[in-house]
């Protein structure tokens, strides 16, 4: 018998969801582990900058050898950029990230045993292959957990791992450089001690990482439904406002402005990070240990900058000018550090201001692709943009090493890096980004 329409229907009440508490719950579950992963990731790719202070003398490597070896990492990284992002979108972040961690941990530790430039190049190349897809995969993974209004803050929490890993890695590497255990030099132990934690983390990721809210046993059913509903509504709104295929996305002028802008800007950014200990040592004339402590100060300023930029980008709703302005400011501060007649103390102040700019633009920049693209198109576009960013890692480091080997001084190298930042920022300034609700 059908119910009388005049009578009230009895339905099961839908449990209320405390949205602020849910957002905190997701952030505390997802972000700490992902941030630790990225700390280890960035340290393992960048610790060659610390090892270089002793490794070059021990193996007789020139500045050009180091420039190419540092840069060839990014050529290897290019191989799985787009497939890595798509695997996270369509398969499993947990399985993909576990594979990445275990393989890169062993290869990073194996860097301790290179003897020739060719071995150095191949080790760096395969380290890049092993890490490929990690960062664009994380960007896509965040779209499975964080609404658009929270994503910049989440990304700034991730990207704080970059300066934090180097700020932490500098004093740890300083201590390791002087050890000599079991017939191995300190620079060799640096690679071993800083590489193997990635292997352990790979097994932790396999056991602990959750792919999507619908798989989260640590959320209630109401929380899972709410979060999936919010993210699905955002994806549907993007489809309605402008359905874009993958290949259409690759033909968008905005995507290529992002690719070229980040490629030019990151040519300065990666080279500055990898060559900073060498630059500080040349400017200060101090010991290796003092050089790494000053380098740690630089990266500590970067930690503060990442936190500030994520907060202000989300509060104001602006991402474009945070990115473009941060790049240009970095170049200007770096140029100021090359003004003749300054003492090292003044130069270090300019370098710390440079760090504030160099880390300010990154998290707002990486939210730009997801602002206007569908989920599948954004996954491919993010991989493509990150390919440009990593090609910059090869170009900037190779050119810097070439300049140093062919008689160009510290100031000329810094001028080249400053120009990269300024031009990259100007390119990003031409983007047309529709204003979004904060």
Chain segment 277-294, per-residue pLDDT in tens:
889 988 888 788 888 888
Query: What is the residue-wise DSSP string for 248-312?
Result: HHHT-HHHHHHHHHHHHHHHHHHHHHHHHHHHHHHHH---HHHHHHHHHHHHHHHHHHHHHHHHH
For residue 243, pLDDT over 70 is answered with no
Q: With H, G, I as helix, E, B as strand and everything else as coil, classify residue 184.
A: strand
Q: pLDDT at position 210, please?
A: 87
CA angle 71, 76, 82 (to 5 degrees): 120
User: Strand ranges (DSSP E) for 364-414?
Assistant: none
For residue 373, pLDDT over 80 is answered with no
Q: What is the mean pLDDT of residues 243-270?
A: 81
pLDDT-derived band at 238, boundaries 50, 70, 90 = low
For residue 246, pLDDT over 60 is answered with no
pLDDT-derived band at 438, boundaries 50, 70, 90 = very low
User: pLDDT tens-digit profile of 113-137?
Assistant: 999 999 999 999 999 888 877 877 8
User: pLDDT tens-digit profile of 29-78?
Assistant: 888 888 888 888 888 888 888 888 888 888 888 888 988 988 888 888 77
Q: What is the mean pLDDT of residues 175-184?
A: 85
How far apart CA 264 and CA 334 sit, in angstroms, is: 16
* In the chain, where the domains are located: 20-428
CB of 309 within 8 A of CB of 364? Answer: yes
Indicate the CATH number of 20-428 among 3.40.630.10, 1.20.1250.20, 3.40.50.510, 3.40.50.700.
1.20.1250.20
For residue 435, pLDDT over 70 is answered with no
CB of 326 within 8 A of CB of 309? Answer: yes
For residue 335, pLDDT over 90 is answered with yes
pLDDT-derived band at 12, boundaries 50, 70, 90 = very low
Q: pLDDT at position 146, please?
A: 85
**How buried is 406 (Cβ within 10 angstroms: 0-12 exposed, 13-18 middle, 19+ buried)?**
exposed
pLDDT-derived band at 6, boundaries 50, 70, 90 = very low
pTM: 0.75
Cβ of 368: how many Cβ atoms within 10 Å?
25
More confident residue, 396 or 84: 396
Q: What is the mean pLDDT of residues 192-211?
A: 90
Cβ of 12: how many Cβ atoms within 10 Å?
5
User: pLDDT tens-digit profile of 145-169?
Assistant: 888 777 767 776 777 777 888 888 8
More confident residue, 157 or 219: 219
More confident residue, 283 or 380: 283
């Amino acid at each position: 018998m059908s119910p009388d329409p005049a009578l009230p229907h009895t339905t099961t009440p839908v449990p209320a969801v405390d949205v602020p508490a849910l957002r905190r719950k997701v952030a505390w579950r997802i972000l700490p582990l992902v941030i630790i992963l990225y700390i280890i990731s960035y340290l393992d790719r960048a610790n060659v900058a610390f090892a270089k202070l002793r490794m070059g003398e021990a193996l007789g490597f020139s500045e050009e050898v180091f420039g190419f070896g540092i840069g060839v990492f990014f050529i290897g990284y290019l191989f799985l950029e787009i497939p890595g992002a798509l695997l996270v979108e369509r398969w499993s972040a947990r399985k993909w990230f576990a594979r990445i961690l275990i393989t890169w941990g062993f290869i990073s530790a194996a860097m301790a045993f290179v003897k020739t430039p060719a071995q150095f190049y191949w080790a760096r190349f395969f380290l890049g292959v092993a890490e490929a897809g990690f960062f664009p995969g994380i960007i896509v993974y965040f779209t499975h957990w964080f609404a658009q209004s929270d994503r910049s803050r989440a990304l700034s929490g991730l990207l704080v791992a970059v300066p934090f890993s180097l700020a932490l890695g500098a004093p740890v590497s300083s201590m390791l450089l002087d050890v000599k255990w079991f017939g191995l030099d300190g620079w060799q132990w640096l690679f071993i001690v800083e590489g193997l934690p990635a292997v352990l983390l790979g097994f932790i990721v396999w056991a602990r990482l959750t792919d999507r809210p619908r798989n989260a046993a640590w959320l209630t059913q109401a929380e899972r439904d709410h979060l999936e509903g919010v993210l699905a509504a955002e994806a549907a709104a993007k489809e309605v406002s402008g359905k874009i295929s993958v290949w259409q996305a690759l033909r968008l002028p905005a995507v290529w402005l992002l690719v070229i802008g980040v490629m030019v800007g990151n040519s300065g950014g990666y080279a500055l990070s990898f060559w900073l200990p060498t630059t500080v040592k040349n400017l200060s004339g101090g010991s290796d240990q003092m050089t790494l402590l000053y380098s740690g100060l630089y990266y500590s300023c970067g930690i503060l900058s990442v936190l500030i930029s994520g907060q202000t980008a989300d509060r104001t709703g602006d991402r474009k000018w945070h990115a473009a302005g941060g790049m240009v400011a970095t170049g200007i501060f770096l140029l100021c550090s090359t003004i003749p007649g300054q003492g090292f103390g003044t130069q270090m102040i300019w370098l710390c201001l440079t760090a504030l700019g160099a880390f300010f633009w990154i998290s707002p920049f990486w939210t730009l692709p997801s602002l206007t693209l569908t989920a599948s198109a954004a996954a491919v576009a993010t991989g493509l943009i990150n390919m440009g960013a990593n090609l910059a890692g090869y170009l900037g480091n190779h050119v810097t090493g070439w300049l140093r080997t062919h008689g160009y001084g510290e100031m000329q190298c810094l001028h080249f890096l400053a120009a990269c930042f300024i031009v990259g920022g100007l390119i990003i300034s031409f983007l047309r980004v529709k204003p979004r609700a904060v």
